[in-house]
Structure 1
Amino acid sequence: MRRTPDPIRDSRDDSARQRALSLPLEEFDPGDPELFRSDTHWPYFDRLRKEDPVHYTSDSMFGPYWSITKYDDIIDVETNHAVFSSASALGGITLVDVTPDLRRESFISMDPPRHTAQRKTIAPVFTSTHLERFAIGIRERSVECFDNLPTNEVFDWVDRVSIELTTQMLAVLFDFPWEDRRKLTRWSDVATTIPGPGGVVATEDERQAELGECVRYFSRLWEARVNQPPKSDLLSLLAHSQGTRDVNPGNFLGNLLLLIVGGNETTRNTLSGSIDALNQHPAEFKKLRNNPALIDGLVQEVIRWQTPVAHMRRTALADIGFRGKQIRKGDKVAMWYVSGNRDEDVIEKPYDFIIDRERPRRHLSFGFGIHRCVGLRLAELQLKIIWEEILKRFERIEMIGEPKRVYSNFIKGYETLPVRIAR
């Protein structure tokens, strides 16, 4: 369903489209974070998919890199571990290059077989038995959150709902001190930010100082878990598992930040995105209200539509010819999930928001293959329960003005989302 016309958005989109069409392809830099903050990246990826689906950017704030923009091509790169590496020693999973002394290895920035051993450590947390237990708490926390929201006044949905509910879930997963749970949100934001004026942190030194606080805090919790009988929380599993209990400090922090960011950013920004999407497509909200059984479809569609992780990066281990282009050993390669999820050759009417699609799970938002998000079922469960409780209470959640988006080409998310709930 096409969105409701909006003069401000339409003018902005038209300007972005005209610039994307007039700019020479060799000047394209689809990873410019400003494109994502202004929500004007779409026409650049549209043109790349049609004219140059494997594109080389020779100069950017992140250095030179390749862009893979088609759905099937992304899968081919994602599954070719012999040539395309996610290893942190080569730069890791984002376009941002980190100096070797600051690189922190996690299982998502490892290649097999080391990746497999560390991933298996936390997999038991996301079994069906645990999910059934989590569901009870998710519903209780959702009820408390929604029953305490203000009505007939503007408030920030990101802060009051998206951050609060996802941070509470993270605190449960880590068995983290409840009163300090917002530290998890802060560390997630710091870990994924691009330092600069007006950003989450101004400099890389500030970023590292806050991540140092994260290490010290979790080190204290780690020591306590090591000296306790094993429990089912993530930190206890990491502390007692043979594959992760003796890792170096960099690997320790890397795995922690991966779990914090993965548990926070995906659900948090998809939950905010669901409000944005349904405000733009009120006919779909009416469809949902008339048939709440469509919540499962809504969850998958908004995960695709939002694509909370815009890209993952790989590094070429050898020269390779790929779709007529020559990728050299050491080159950075960005798999743009945000583009693959709008690929017209794979997804019918990809710019339409349709909560009853025939194949709703056909998206790349959780990655593909061995690096596919280990907590995806929990993310889906959270979103489903939250929307079940929303439909019980609210006729409409109205966006008031434009949201403020994150300055990042990695996390595609919202800083603020002003809304009003009429009673």
Structure 2
Amino acid sequence: MNAPVQADPRADAQSVPLSQIDVSDPHLYQDDTWRPWFERLRREDPVHRCENGMYGAYWSVTRYRDIMAVDTNHEAFSSDAYMGGIVLRDLPVDKRRPSFISMDPPKHDEQRKTVSPIVAPGNLARMADTIRERTNKVLDSLPRGETFDWVDLVAVELTTMMLATLFDFPFEERRKLTYWSNVATVNTRAGTEVDSEEKRNEILDVAMAEFRALWEERAKQDPRPDLISMLAHGEATRDLPTRPHEFMGNLLLLVVGGNDTTRNSMSGSLLAMNQFPDEFRKLKDNPGLIPSMVPEVIRWQTPVIHMRRTATRDVELAGKTIRAGDKVAMWYISGNRDEDAIERPDDFIIDRPRPRQHLSFGFGIHRCVGNRLAEMQLMILWEEILRRDWKMIEVMGPPVRTYSNLLRSISSLPVRIPA
């Protein structure tokens, strides 16, 4: 399974002994060859034990209903950073960065409650005009009749401007937020400039110094409706700077959470429209389908590939006994392709009867706190694209995908708007 990807991934997925399948290999997602591996697991061994994975022994949960069972049972399946956290890669205890997504109640509930007002319906309504104004400015600036990178000029630019607003971060320095998000999530085996934990920590120490300065400034001021001020004044979070790893963990969670889901759904939506042109024509004929198209994009793209839990006790799941202390991976990317839960799951269908029936935001207490903001940004983007009556934004080459088993990220996508 750790050998280079073969030319025919479907034949490869069938030839490997079941016990040797390791879907934690990031090459499967970088090369976009993951589908047949999960098809086989869902069919033959939906709760699958891998003994010698790239990141150690773990269970794979691959069906929709079983993922739901794990995700909604935080008592039996812990997210706590000090039990292992939310990713398959194990860090030394002194290197772990707890955040409310990698905590169990009651601490999780207290910290999440502090930041949730920023995505309350009233605040989203107030942000809508700003998002629309920026979206129009970005779309109006795009070249016509020449190839450009959609990720850089549109997806990154729009999400980075939104991040700067959420944090009230210096607007002219907003691309730092995207860079820090990338550094925080990059796989150090990927061959990028961040090729070691030492290099990653060196860069993130700079980020934390800047956030700490902003924190100290906001703590001295009256409370304001930005994330740093909310944390600095929140009863459960105001002392975070005295716990450096937790301070870093929460701020990085909010940066990554505000960046990756939306950014990669914006790019994934354009890929989907090009791969399923009849759906694009359907959308042009009826823009009223945008509210159902958006959750379908988020299902089809599945920006978060997996989330890990650790069993707190022996648990039976689909006839298998998961032992206390075992690592359990919920493969959202597989659950969103489960034929028993979703009709024609590999197809992009913008008028599905139940488009929100997907796992991309998770379920239970850890359901994505910013899901409505992500949907709103994607909805406004497509409203403004359709208003311009472009025939099609053409994808001119294959996307460049990142080496990751956590985030289904697109780092580059060449496109052209016909002149």
Confirm whether residue 277 of structure 1 aligns to residue 272 of structure 2: yes
Q: 1:116 matched to which residue of 2?
A: 109
Match of 2:166 among 173, 182, 190: 173
CA distance in 2, matches of 1:17, 1:300: 28
Secondary structure at the counterpart of residue 315 of structure 1:
strand
1:78: how far off? 0.9
1:93: how far off? 0.4
1:189: how far off? 0.7
Secondary structure at the counterpart of residue 144 of structure 2:
coil
CA distance in 2, matches of 1:171, 1:138: 12
Q: Is the 8 A contact 1:397 1:420 kept in 2?
A: yes
Secondary structure at the counterpart of residue 48 of structure 2:
strand
CA distance in 2, matches of 1:345, 1:133: 40
Q: 1:395 matched to which residue of 2?
A: 391
Match of 1:133 among 126, 132, 146: 126
CA distance in 2, matches of 1:194, 1:259: 19
CA distance in 1, matches of 2:132, 2:316: 50
Q: 1:245 matched to which residue of 2?
A: 238
Gaps of 5+ in 2: none
Match of 1:409 among 402, 405, 411: 405
Aligned CA distance change for structure 1 residues 134 and 200 (closer, same or farther; 3 Å): farther
Q: 2:306 matched to which residue of 1?
A: 311
Q: 2:315 matched to which residue of 1?
A: 320
Secondary structure at the counterpart of residue 124 of structure 2:
helix
CA distance in 1, matches of 2:379, 2:301: 16
Aligned CA distance change for structure 1 residues 130 and 417 (closer, same or farther; 3 Å): same
Confirm whether residue 202 of structure 1 aligns to residue 192 of structure 2: no
1:199: how far off? 2.5
Q: Sequence identity of aligned pairs in percent?
A: 58
Match of 2:366 among 371, 387, 402: 371
1:14: how far off? 7.7
Q: 1:356 matched to which residue of 2?
A: 351
Confirm whether residue 338 of structure 1 aligns to residue 333 of structure 2: yes
CA distance in 2, matches of 1:102, 1:186: 21
Q: 2:40 matched to which residue of 1?
A: 47
Q: Is the 8 A contact 1:126 1:378 kept in 2?
A: yes
CA distance in 1, matches of 2:192, 2:297: 27
CA distance in 1, matches of 2:300, 2:133: 28
Q: Is the 8 A contact 1:189 1:200 kept in 2?
A: no
Confirm whether residue 262 of structure 1 aligns to residue 257 of structure 2: yes
Q: How many residues align?
A: 412
- Which is further off, 142-151 or 198-207? 198-207
Confirm whether residue 420 of structure 1 aligns to residue 413 of structure 2: no
Gaps of 5+ in 1: 1-11
Q: Is the 8 A contact 1:193 1:200 kept in 2?
A: no
CA distance in 2, matches of 1:356, 1:197: 38
Q: 2:64 matched to which residue of 1?
A: 71
CA distance in 2, matches of 1:197, 1:302: 27
Match of 1:20 among 6, 13, 26: 13
CA distance in 1, matches of 2:403, 2:40: 22
Aligned CA distance change for structure 1 residues 313 and 197 (closer, same or farther; 3 Å): closer
1:90: how far off? 1.2
AA aligned opposite 2:146: E
Confirm whether residue 59 of structure 1 aligns to residue 52 of structure 2: yes
Q: Is the 8 A contact 2:6 2:12 kept in 1?
A: no
CA distance in 1, matches of 2:9, 2:98: 37
